[in-house]
Chains A and B, each alone.
Chain A
Amino acid sequence: MSKKVAIIGGGVAGIEAAKKLSEFGYEISLFEKDTELGGHVAKWDRLFPNQRRAQEVVDILQKDLEKIQVYKSANVQSINRENGSFSVNATGKSYPADAVVVATGFELFPAEKKEEYGYQIFDNVITSADLELMFKKFGKPQTVSGVNPSRVAIIHCVGSRDEKVNRPYCSKVCCVTAVKQAIEIKESLPNCEVFNFYMDLRLFGPGYEELYKKAQTMGVTFVRGRLSETSELEGGRILVKAEDTLSSKPLKMSVDMVVLMVGMSPNPENNELFNGVGLAENSDGFLQVNDYHTEPTKSQIEGIFIAGACSGPNNITDSINAARSAAMDAHKFLTRN
């Protein structure tokens, strides 16, 4: 009888880990709390750095899932460990497993916590995720009254590198997302002015710097300075205030729309889910891995492996690599003497 592996989370990391372990011949149960697989990627319109459709990546990953037992709308409540094997409790039932891969991902930073930015107070302050939905629906941004904006401010580092909201870390992917979205606004509305407010630009991957240069050439203005506050003007326009730190002067401007680049926050469900089995969190609140450099997909507990953004902000490629690494680790564990 083949051994069983439970995978918690059906985003890109979870799906990839499930497929790889299934190829090794294990019996896989994949638990997804949502009604569909694909996680955050399935909610995105296009991806950096090449602006391909996010759905394309989700479709590729979802191919050949026949051998995998997928449980959708399945909330995992707890994991128990007894005599070296596990039981996963989801929606009132208990599922036995010889190993567990945790791929519970992240949640987007709740932007309303930065109250001075006006999210959920002013209608035309939206998040990067809201803008992706807009691109999916209309192909271009539009204000709450249904008009196309003629000026947009994009705010970097919302819920990242900010000790005031207990998110001292960099979320890694928002800078390049901001540049990608700036380009997409320009492409869909060529006469729309776009201003990106940044502190440092942290674009680290292949093709990212080229994307930044492309945005500059298309006329996107990059202002070095963190947004201090927004206020609403007559007619729903937004006044943004910051410092232009390159000239050491306070700066203000009115815009039709503000887009907040929300960072990645630890999944709030992780705590109650994993405390029982003894998985710890790191100083940023994400799941602690056994060795950051040499064992980045092993947890501190034998038989539990960690893949994707549940251990910290990741892009899709890194999450998929982590999933494969976790699958290898699990395979090694399951074939031990």
Chain B
Amino acid sequence: MVNFGFSALEIASVDFDKTNRKLAEEIALLEPTFSTCISCGSCAGTCTASRFNGFSFRNMCHQIKLGNVTKAFVESEKCMLCGKCTLVCPRNVNTRNICRIVRKAANN
């Protein structure tokens, strides 16, 4: 192929042929409600921490599903584990437990 001297930024796109979805699969086994998120965003909407540090539980989970594990690890540190999101989730996702699993994975 002709080399034009520039290329697409890897980070700027999602390539499901290259993503590593291992963490997503592990979480789904440990906490099956991880799979049932409908991306409504009520978790992030109610989040107290988000007012201060922009934390979004929905986005963290989405990054894990896209294989952006490092980004998700950094995000998980922003959570205060207060559990408000667990109260509002319409699909009964155990959000707090998922945050704990992600942090644990980050430390291993």
Contact = CB atoms under 8 A, between A and B. Distances in A.
Given A219-B28, A221-B65, A250 B13 contact: yes
Given A221-B65, A247-B62, A247-B66, A253 B35 contact: no
Contact of A251 (B14, B63, B91): B14
Interface in B12-57: 12-17, 28, 32, 35-37, 39
Given A213-B91, A244-B66, A247-B63, A219 B16 contact: no
Given A213-B36, A216-B35, A251 B62 contact: no
Contacts of B14: 244, 247, 249-252
Interface string A207-248: 000000100110101001000000000000000000010110
Contact of B36 (A216, A246, A250, A254): A216
A195 B14 CA distance: 14
Given A219-B28, A221-B65, A246-B62, A251 B36 contact: no
Contacts of B12: 249-250
Nearest to A249: B14
Contacts of B66: 244, 247
Contacts of B35: 216-217, 219
Interface of B: 12-17, 28, 32, 35-37, 39, 59, 62-63, 65-66, 91
18 contacts: A213-B36, A213-B91, A216-B36, A217-B32, A217-B36, A244-B14, A247-B14, A247-B63, A249-B12, A249-B13, A250-B12, A250-B14, A251-B14, A251-B16, A252-B15, A252-B17, A253-B15, A254-B17
